[in-house]
Amino acid sequence: METTRRFFVGMGAATAAMGLDQALAAPAHASMAKDKFWVAAVTPCDKSYNFDEGAYRDLLSWYKANGADGVLVLGTNGEGPSYSVAERKKIAEFALKNKMGLDMIVATGTANFNETIDLSQHAAAIGADSVLIQPPFYFKNPTGDGVIRYFTTIFDKVRTPVRYYHIPQVTGVPAGLKVFQALAQHPNFIGIKDSHGDPAEYEVIANGLPARLNIISGTDNNMPAALRRGDGVILGSGNVYPKYVAAIFAAHRAGKDLTAPLAKMARATSFMEGGDYYNPSAIKYTLSLMMGNLGTTFTRPPWTEIGEDLKAKIRKGVSQLKAMG
């Protein structure tokens, strides 16, 4: 059974101790289990749009307590492109200092390779497990050779594992299998987060790349396919349904049939249908109800506060989730 909804959801003390040159020379992280459940975390901010450290710490505790293996910091749901380079470094440092045993992927992509390299080197220096980088998203439909050149320029400067963030409906960059096969020649390239959500394309990409690569699903509908391959997920829906996703992964690792936990996840997501429940504003409002202590539901422009009709639907959905247990 498959779920069918898609949710779209990558210098502090460590730098001082290690030094940037040493971080660049360090080998890629060895602990790269592929079948992990990462939450595409939101980024709390206050009414002045400043990063809210206390609320973020509460979020990390929520993810950990509900069975997540890791967190994607500053991805799409984390509003990464809405923060400056300096702010992104500060948020990444805070996440790594408060990781609570969670595997940390930091989204470091920007519209230019110099800032992307800077953020990626910084993530490596503070101990990120890997980085997630989308292609440059201002110039639409670049050639495959252009995308390869962009990423190999980054690979040559960054000594930490890199995942490609495939979300062409946002970036306007429809990179395909040939591009990924070329990137796979570089040892720093460890996989893809596929948030396009097309099942046929996911299978083409996954079957056409070396088995060492981690082809992560960024949408719920491709989670069963990822699990069959022994790969993981990075889900925006993991903010709202972490314990149900964690239960699916627990059954998978135990070699058990996935029908029951997948059905429970499908039922849970059915409570949040008929509205835009999975943008950062809606996720934050939902979390405020589920956690009871998320201090802020603000998002940076261009996101706005959700309307009263959607809030009422979310309140009803959360009530149903709590009753389901």
Instruction: For residue 83, tell me if it sits in a domain.
Output: yes
Mean pLDDT of 189-198: 96
Q: Which of 86-100, 282-296, 297-311 tops mean pLDDT?
A: 86-100
User: Which of the two residues, 159 and 171, has the higher pLDDT score?
Assistant: 171
Kindly report the number of other CB atoms within 10 A of residue 26's CB atom: 13
* Residue 276 within any structural domain of the chain: no
> For position 113, what pLDDT does the model report?
92
Residue 226 lies in a domain: yes
Domain residue limits at 23: 12-258
Cβ contact 18:123 at 8 Å = no
Decide: 124 and 158 in contact? Cβ < 8 Å: yes
Structural domains of the chain, count: 1
Contact 38, 70 (CB under 8 A): yes
Residue 63 has pLDDT above 90, yes or no: yes
Domain for residue 300, yes or no? no
pLDDT at 290 exceeding the cut of 50? yes
Q: Which residues are catalytic?
A: 76, 138, 165, 193
- Domain contains 302: no
In this prediction, residue 141 carries a pLDDT of: 86
Domain presence at residue 7: no
The predicted-structure confidence for 6-27, as pLDDT tens digits, reads as follows 332 322 333 233 333 333 333 3
- pLDDT of 31 reads 43
Which CATH number is 153's domain given?
3.20.20.70
